[in-house]
Amino acid sequence: MRYTISFLLATCLVSAARADVPRVVTDFGPVQSLVQQVMGDLGTPVMLLSAGGDPHDFQLRPSQAATLAEADLIFWDGPELTPSLAEAIASLAETARSVALLHEGGGKVRTFADGEGIDPHAWLDPANAQAWLGTIAAELSARDPENSAAYAANAAAARAALAALDATLAAQLAPVRDKPFVVFHDALGYFADHYGLNVAGAVELGDASTPGAAQLSSLRALLADARAVCIFPEAGRDPKFIATVAEGSPVRIGAGQDVEAITLPPGPGLYAALLTGLADTLTACLSAD
């Protein structure tokens, strides 16, 4: 009988603790992955962007606005990545705490290569992700102090795993550090800064447009001037334009890069898969022959 009572008591305590776990909403895969690692089995953060969605083009649907309205805590990259989300989040300031990790996560912020504006792709610097994990744990603990030990332990484990991955990737990328390459959109700055890689430029063309002759020749000049070894298309986008740019040049076309993790299955493992995938596409092309 005593066993039963203490068992029931323990069950009640566990459900009481779980009942206080905040409802957490995130913007897209990389942030959801980091938050999921900190929440562990206490809960699953919702991801607003559906699989395959490009965060740059994100428009909030009514069902997603409803999900957002029920949140206690919102973790997202920031208004520079998803401007439409910024307005919706601002309107929820009374009911939910929101944390724009790009600005409030404690990591580094850089400007785009052309100097025009803040580059929102900050999740691609694993040092930023390390800082964000700590911020996420602190925010969850402030909202849910009963589970703060679990959040802190999960964040510490995630940071240790990420430090190990970072060391592996640094060793993998070291031999290709001086090889110039061109990317599709200017998204790799944080990753390149962290690992000391040589991004020569970005193609930066809107999805639907067809390259004009002037643009084509300036991109071909960029490849030649930079002596670019590789040019990388993007996962989930038509690589035809990249092939046109590369025509008649010795530049190699690498495998598609997925900087926004739109083709990766969501979950705690997504973040490591994202960094590993980027490092693998880079070394596979840049170190060939």
Chain residues in the site for Zn ion (CB under 5 A): 187
Strand residues in 59-218 grouped as ranges (E): 73-76, 97-100, 110-111, 118-119, 181-183, 199-202
Side by side, which strands form the sheet with 199-202? 199-202, 181-183, 230-231, 252-253
| Closer residue to Zn ion, CB minimum distance, 80 or 166 | 80
**Smallest distance, Zn ion to C-beta of residue 66, A:** 27
**Smallest distance, Zn ion to C-beta of residue 191, A:** 12
**Smallest distance, Zn ion to C-beta of residue 97, A:** 26
25 beta partners: 46, 74
CB 182 within 8 A of CB 200: yes
| Closer residue to Zn ion, CB minimum distance, 54 or 146 | 54
CA distance 155 to 42: 13
Could you tell me how many residues make up the chain? 289
Structure-token match 């240790």, residue found: 160
Tell me the residue number closest to Zn ion, measured at CB.
187
**Smallest distance, Zn ion to C-beta of residue 271, A:** 16
**Smallest distance, Zn ion to C-beta of residue 78, A:** 12
| Closer residue to Zn ion, CB minimum distance, 176 or 187 | 187
The alpha carbon of 66 is separated from its chain's Cα centroid by a whole number of angstroms, namely 24
Q: What residues contact residue 138 under an 8 Å CB cut-off, 6+ apart? A: none
| Closer residue to Zn ion, CB minimum distance, 187 or 278 | 187
| Closer residue to Zn ion, CB minimum distance, 42 or 122 | 122
| Closer residue to Zn ion, CB minimum distance, 183 or 219 | 183
Structure tokens at 111: 């400007």
**Smallest distance, Zn ion to C-beta of residue 119, A:** 9
